A and B are shown apart, each in its own frame.
Chain A
Amino acid sequence: MRRVAVTGCGVVSSLGYIKKVFREAVFGGKCGIRPITAFDMPIRGVKLASEVSDFDPSGYFSPKKLRYDSRYTKFARYAAADARFDAFGESGAVPDPYRCGVILSSSAGGAEQTRLNSEILEQKGADRVLPYYMSSSLSDTAAANAAVDCGAHGCCFCINTACASGSNAIGEAYLKIRDGYMDTMLAGASEASLTPLTVGGFAAMRVLYEGDDVSRASIPFDAERSGFVMGEGAGVLVLEEMEQAEKRGAHIYAEIAGYSCNCDARDLTSPDPESVARLFEAALFSAGISEDKIDYINAHGTSTLINDSCESKAINAIFPSRPLVSSSKSMLGHLLGAAGAVEALITCMAIEDGRVPPNINYSYPDGECMINVADKPVVKNIEYALCDSLGFGGHNAALIFKKYHG
């Protein structure tokens, strides 16, 4: 079976879009959650978000190049370009373009374009809706543009599995290479849906943190947790067939060892511990390892009551060896469709650096979440790490990454 290496990564987030800055922030336990600036509209008690600020893509793209793009596409194109230059050096050129594919996911696509064009529709009529509304609002546009940017002629698509979209993108890209369909893949996800409509929708579902205390807002697995904080951003990995990567002397962050996905097939918004446990089992089977090999779990950990207790139950059922667990959402909030991609990227960095990113602001253990939470950064050799995402719709996905030993 062909092995798959992670040879490049790019990220856009509230904790930065320069990899070095992002890496130090995440492993230093910084919080990217702040008062919402995207709009000024009271929505229940929701006041905080994890917004991308001061984003300047001009290092890779002129403003003209991005003028018909929605915010999520700009994030995706930047992260994909950054990952590509990280992997392939100054030229950024992908080897054998017809064997290079792109899977970039988004859950909401160009949400702000829908808002803008809805206003045009109301004020000026349907004849004035912008010609680029469709292409900028659809969730496939990021993948299509990233393919244009590097001339990748292989498979190119977007997977929408709500908050599992990013994990599915990386997992399916892994399979494309492992099974011989492609040699190189750009895989990840992007999300920028901080609009009153989307925030209002989640607020109506009563799943968002309501309040203004940054240190008690996104607190996965804590007994005081009360909802998630919406975030935005993108994460993209370059995956390569191992021999190709080694032959060209690529820098290898980690190896992908396994992938699984399943569906609760029960309730759209309430996760099922049994399905999640089966998800973990299937990922371990895919990687061909026993549960005690997993040194670290980068959990979905949204900070909602039900997700965290359900996920903890599944972790305890499958991992009696009690690996360290942390949720990057404690620092970055919930990037929805992009969450799994950014968290997979963090997991690769954790393996490479030998340090576990913290689950910050964890103060009060919850009897429903009795797992081994890493509340501080921990220096630790990580041979295998699991990263999972559990999306609305009952979409679940898990990836297992492995340390690369050369």
Chain B
Amino acid sequence: MTVDKVIEIIAKEAEIDKSEIKPDSSLSGELEIESMTLLTLALQFEENFNVTFKKAELPLMKTPADIAAMIEQKLQ
């Protein structure tokens, strides 16, 4: 599932245990992911799913579920 892969990428880049990341975890809230990591994650999602995120889409990437939904929409 897309969301599982998204969580896997977040866990690796942000160095957070995968079990602590839920589909509705807030990246900048409870997961305390800083701005530079969020930007790096955006690049990794682009590379891994072969999609492109526009500048205006970045603030919408709030939870793994949000990100997975955005990716799936782009892949349709």
A-side residues, CB < 8 A to B, are: 64, 67-68, 127-128, 130-132, 135
Interface of B is mostly: helix
A131 B43 Cβ-Cβ under 8 A: yes
Please name the 8 residue pairs, one residue from A and one from B, whose CB atoms are nearest each other, closest first. Answer: A131-B39, A64-B15, A131-B40, A132-B36, A68-B36, A131-B43, A131-B36, A132-B40
B-side residues, CB < 8 A to A, are: 15, 36, 39-40, 42-43, 46-47, 52
Q: Which chain A residue shows the least CB distance to B41? A: A131
A130 B47 Cβ-Cβ under 8 A: no
Q: Which of B15, B36, B42, B47 has the most CB of A within 10 A?
A: B36
Q: Which chain B residue shows the least CB distance to A129? A: B43
Q: Which chain B residue shows the least CB distance to A136? A: B36
Given A68-B36, A127-B46, A132-B36, output 16 extra A-B contacts at Cβ < 8 Å: A64-B15, A67-B15, A68-B40, A127-B52, A128-B43, A128-B47, A130-B40, A130-B43, A131-B36, A131-B39, A131-B40, A131-B42, A131-B43, A132-B39, A132-B40, A135-B36
A128 to B66 CA separation, bound complex (whole angstroms): 23
Interface of A is mostly: loop
Q: Which chain A residue shows the least CB distance to B43? A: A131
17 contacts between A and B (CB under 8 A): A67-B15, A68-B36, A68-B40, A127-B46, A127-B52, A128-B43, A128-B47, A130-B40, A130-B43, A131-B36, A131-B40, A131-B42, A131-B43, A132-B36, A132-B39, A132-B40, A135-B36
Query: In the complex, what's the smallest C-beta–C-beta distance from A216 to chain B, in angstroms?
Result: 45
A127 to B47 CA separation, bound complex (whole angstroms): 10
- B52: A residues at CB distance < 8 A: 127
- A68: B residues at CB distance < 8 A: 36, 40
A68 to B39 CA separation, bound complex (whole angstroms): 12
